[in-house]
Amino acid sequence: MLKSVSVENECLTGKHDCDPNAICRDNEQSFTCECAQGYTDRSPNRLNRPGRVCIQLIDECATGRHTCSAQAECRDLEEGYTCECKDGFIDRSPNLLTQPGRVCGTPEVCPSNHECSSAAVCEPLGGNKYECTCIQGYLDQSPHDKKGRICVRNSACRDPRLNNCSRNAICYDEPKGYRCECAHGYVDRSPDGTQRGHVCEPPAPATPPPRHPCQDPLLNDCHPAGTCRATGAKTYTCECLQGYVDRSPDSKNKPGRICILTEPICLDASQNDCHPAAICSETKTGDKYTCRCRDGYIDQSPDLVNRPGRICVEQVNECLDRSLNDCDPLAVCQDLPDGYTCRCPVNTEDQSPNRNRPGRKCFQQVNECRNPSLNNCSRFADCIDKAEGYECRCREGYHDGNPRHPGTTCNYIINECESSNLNDCDRYAECIDLEGGYECRCKEPYRDESLPGQPGRICRLNECLDPKDNTCDKEHADCEDLDDGYTCHCKAGYYDNSPHPQEPGRVCVEFQKEKVTVVVPQDVPRIDGIPCGRNHYCTLALNEVCVGGVHCTCRPGEARATAQDRCEIVDRIPLAIRVLNKDAETLLYSSEYGSSESAPYVEITHLFINDIGRALGSTTYGPRYVTTDEPYRDESPPGQPGRICRLNECLDPKDNTCDKEHADCEDLDDGYTCHCKAGYYDNSPHPQEPGRIVDRIPLAIRVLNKDAETLLYSSEYGSSESAPYVEITHLFINDIGRALGSTTYGPRYVTTDVNYITHPKTINSSWPDGLLFNFSVATMPSGAPIDVCDLWDQLAKSIQRTNGAIGGGSLRVASDYDELNPCRPKQPRGEACGLTVCNKAWNIVLWVVRSGEENLAYTDILANPHHSVTKELVRRFESGVGQCYPHTALSSSFVTAEVSVKFKIPLTTLTGDICANFPSSFGIS
């Protein structure tokens, strides 16, 4: 038998992980995410899981958040931006490859014999004139009228003349100057708080430590163009600065005493052979200088190891211009120092003719299985991607309904023989499952009396043929074969003395005449029916059949007006009528009228059936009218009506024996069952009749020891599925039962439910050890409500009598257990203010009745603050409170709101929902 399967729409139910700025699109297999317009996809796996991280696009050019030259045009890109020098300007950016358009100059060039320092930028001024400017990080020490000729790296801290740090301060070079910090042991007395380290004085009255000669220019004889370097506690040596030559009389023993400014070798083209496109750097070894080609140039010097930078050739990035490379449009072009290479991206196939020249021809591979719109596989089939196309294959448990196009039509395979509800084979027949249905075959020694073409539906055995197959009185009773078994009748002259009325004719006694009295045979009524349920029979004379083993009713195609009438074959005429009013009430359709299980549906159909019966009773069809109601619905396979008939006993309370107030009725294929509602336990004599209410009293207690072992909280005690949790709660429930059994609440006590176990520090920060049990005591109801205070007092006295051991068991409570007394008055917290206590937080109580469209009610899950459902509810509540105050006059002082959910409603008039306390904290101006 084939069965359809429904698929959930994750986009509607919210069960997806798309970014809030993405669009969720549902499909047959699952869902896809797509970033909205104005956002770019930054998901970790954009190929297989797009739309999980969407970042808003920012136009740096429009917002002015760029570093392009004033003579350059800014072009916004999907990720970042780029700069291009305007027409008539030349790009002189330091890094043309990665940051072009940052420095755009006029097309003039400086003369080849310019005198600018290698650490300066030469700016042509027209003709042979030019201007030199030291680059960032260098100081201009050129003559007054020749700027940019001598550029020395910014080292203000090396020359005391270049900084105003105190002699008792440490000077730190920085990219944009320097900063001063008083040395350890000195106090900063600088008059300007923003310029630290300018005046550093030792703290009084301590004697200042001896100063090193390098710390005071008056204590050393180093040249002003030199630096002093300490070699010992009181010794030092001097070194001339870069760009100066040492002319000291005794340069070996006392260098740096006379430093003469010299022309650097890199500034004199006659002293070095670096290429004009190379950078010259002075060294102290070899040729006293070295050359390095600038960025954007390739070094083609003959001796790259020992003499680089002699021949620099401009590097061309062929990947920036499509006319300079022959890569496929789908390929990735990678620039190399000498040329370029091409590479086909992921999910493409390289079909280039020459393997030594990859990426010239890329073929786009399409995985039809990743996009449901590109394949026609059934949602119950596996899609297998291939080099060319794809293949569909029905999953295990599904039948391929279209072998010519495999995997496109997959139907669920149902084995009708596994459940008696899915086949109409006789109970004495063997059910054989087939690919397209099933087959019935009567077992031996039963004979097949089924209709033609439907074997195995009626299997009969005449138990009366062989005395061994029946239990009738062999001499004095007659055996009568029935469709469903047999029955026995005592012969004439005998009366039935069988022990069971349901089994007549088993013991037949002959009538005897006494001299004094006449013995009247016992009148045992003959039961003419089929057993159905407990002590109940379906009447054969009424043509009834037993359905589901519990109900007598008519066969499909038959009906009757009342349960006392005989079932007859009826003709059914489908009609439709519009009902406008019920009494003076105008009827409006709602979803409740569309559900056959709702109370409005049951009520309105009951009225309609009765009214239609009265209306037809006054017509010529009245004598032939039977009923309008057909309680059983036909759920048979197509083409086989009447094989499976169902009755929903839960629609009408008269059809079931469930507790009407405290139990829920659940309809089953073969009858129904009942479940006690939350807060009730089953104390019925039969499982089908549940329902007795209990009172629950929530309490908390701190358990410190188990025998001699001190208990310490761990995550295992917070999980109801862990072995330590199961063990400790089992002991706790038994011990509490013994403790309450010795109180006046013993006769009413039912059980104890442990809601959750948590760390005692959640209640009192001074409780480092033990386990905090949050539990509920269930008692049978009585006329008066439970006095929680009296219950706690009697439980506490019971524990005191056993020296702190609960019920005299292995669990022992803490000595300060009365801190958790629910009737103990709470001490006010805050700052004393006269006769009251002031608190910066306001405690507000709200009665919460609904979350969205869902009504809230107390449950054991919500009672556990560690449960994910409770945490999510608290998080949403705090977020909602935080979003309310900004729209009020308290917006400038509101700080936060900490929600503490209390689920026990203190008002006796409230029976559901939850109660939430949230102290709101405000800043005090």
Residue 226 predicted with pLDDT over 80: yes
The sign of the CA dihedral 876, 881, 887, 891 is negative
Statement to judge: residues 923 and 845 lie in one domain: yes
Contact 214, 230 (CB under 8 A): yes
**Residue 661 exposed, middle or buried by CB count within 10 Å (0-12, 13-18, 19+):** exposed
- Strand 200-201 relative to strand 187-188, pairing: antiparallel
Contact 365, 347 (CB under 8 A): yes
User: Nearest Cα to 424, choosing from 240, 620, 643?
Assistant: 643
Statement to judge: residues 790 and 854 lie in one domain: no
Task: Report the SS3 class of residue 228.
Answer: strand
Structure tokens at 455: 């074997």
pLDDT band at 522 (very low <50, low <70, confident <90, very high): very low
User: Nearest Cα to 60, choosing from 90, 44, 82?
Assistant: 82
pLDDT of residue 688: 40
Residue 879's φ and ψ, nearest 5 degrees, are -65, -40
Contacts of 194 (CB under 8 A, 6+ apart): none
561 falls within a domain = no
Residue 114 predicted with pLDDT over 80: yes
Statement to judge: residues 699 and 820 lie in one domain: yes
Q: Tens digit of pLDDT for each residue in 147-160?
A: 888 887 777 787 77
Structure tokens at 791: 């219950």
Least confident of 374-378, 616-620, 770-774: 616-620
pLDDT of residue 909: 38
Contacts of 459 (CB under 8 A, 6+ apart): 426, 427, 428, 429, 442, 443, 446, 447, 448, 449, 450
pLDDT of residue 652: 67
Statement to judge: residues 869 and 772 lie in one domain: no
603 falls within a domain = no
467 falls within a domain = yes
pLDDT band at 917 (very low <50, low <70, confident <90, very high): low
> Bigger pLDDT: 160 or 37?
37
pLDDT of residue 632: 54
pLDDT of residue 439: 92
- Strand 297-299 relative to strand 289-293, pairing: unpaired
pLDDT band at 903 (very low <50, low <70, confident <90, very high): very low
Least confident of 52-56, 275-279, 330-334, 892-896: 892-896
Residue 309 predicted with pLDDT over 90: yes
Statement to judge: residues 701 and 795 lie in one domain: yes
Statement to judge: residues 283 and 334 lie in one domain: no
64 falls within a domain = no
483-491 mean pLDDT:
85
Residue 548 predicted with pLDDT over 70: no
**Residue 868 exposed, middle or buried by CB count within 10 Å (0-12, 13-18, 19+):** exposed
Q: Tens digit of pLDDT for each residue in 652-684?
A: 666 676 776 777 887 776 567 777 777 666 655
User: Nearest Cα to 38, choosing from 50, 17, 51, 21?
Assistant: 21
Question: CA 108, CA 128: separation in Å to the nearest integer?
Answer: 10
917 falls within a domain = yes
310 falls within a domain = yes
Task: Give the number of C-alpha atoms closer than 13 A to the C-alpha of residue 445, restricted to the C-beta side.
Answer: 6
Statement to judge: residues 442 and 503 lie in one domain: no
Question: CA 45, CA 47: separation in Å to the nearest integer?
Answer: 6
pLDDT of residue 924: 43
Count of domains forming the chain:
7
560-586 mean pLDDT:
85
Out of 180-184, 201-205, 718-722, the most confident range is 180-184
Rounded alpha-carbon distances, angstroms, from residue 634 to 484, 642, 643, 646: 23, 6, 8, 7
Is the preceding peptide bond at 445 cis, omega within 30 degrees of 0? yes
Contacts of 525 (CB under 8 A, 6+ apart): 501
Residue 7 predicted with pLDDT over 70: no
Residue 623 predicted with pLDDT over 70: yes
Structure tokens at 174: 């920085």
Statement to judge: residues 809 and 752 lie in one domain: yes
Q: Tens digit of pLDDT for each residue in 369-401?
A: 988 888 999 988 999 988 778 999 999 888 888
Neighbours of 917 (CB within 10 A): 13
Structure tokens at 925: 């101006």
pLDDT of residue 770: 92
For residue 216, list its beta bridge partners. Answer: none
Statement to judge: residues 779 and 837 lie in one domain: no
pLDDT of residue 908: 36
pLDDT of residue 310: 93
Question: CA 818, CA 702: separation in Å to the nearest integer?
Answer: 10
Q: Tens digit of pLDDT for each residue in 821-845?
A: 999 876 665 555 555 555 544 556 6
Question: CA 6, CA 379: separation in Å to the nearest integer?
Answer: 10
Q: Among 221, 243, 264, where does a domain finish?
A: 264
pLDDT of residue 691: 47
Out of 1-15, 166-180, 625-639, the most confident range is 166-180
Q: Rounded mean pLDDT of the chain? A: 80
664 falls within a domain = no
Residue 18 predicted with pLDDT over 90: yes
pLDDT of residue 837: 56
Q: For tokens 């007549």, what's the residue?
A: 504
User: Nearest Cα to 545, choosing from 556, 533, 554?
Assistant: 554
Domain span holding position 326: 318-364
| Residue 310 belongs to domain with CATH number | 2.10.25
pLDDT of residue 51: 92
pLDDT of residue 639: 61
57 falls within a domain = no
pLDDT of residue 314: 85
> Bigger pLDDT: 583 or 662?
583
Contacts of 571 (CB under 8 A, 6+ apart): none
Residue 77's φ and ψ, nearest 5 degrees, are -115, 170
The sign of the CA dihedral 707, 712, 716, 721 is positive
Q: Tens digit of pLDDT for each residue in 443-459?
A: 988 889 888 889 998 88
Question: CA 674, CA 691: separation in Å to the nearest integer?
Answer: 9
* pTM assigned to the model: 0.28
Statement to judge: residues 273 and 306 lie in one domain: yes
| Residue 704 belongs to domain with CATH number | 3.30.70.960
- In Å, the largest CA–CA distance within the chain is 169
Rounded to 10 degrees, the C-alpha dihedral 405/411/417/418 comes to 130
User: Nearest Cα to 139, choosing from 110, 167, 164, 117?
Assistant: 117
Question: CA 240, CA 553: separation in Å to the nearest integer?
Answer: 118
pLDDT of residue 902: 53
Which run of H or E residues covers position 806? none
Statement to judge: residues 857 and 918 lie in one domain: yes
Statement to judge: residues 439 and 504 lie in one domain: no
pLDDT of residue 106: 73
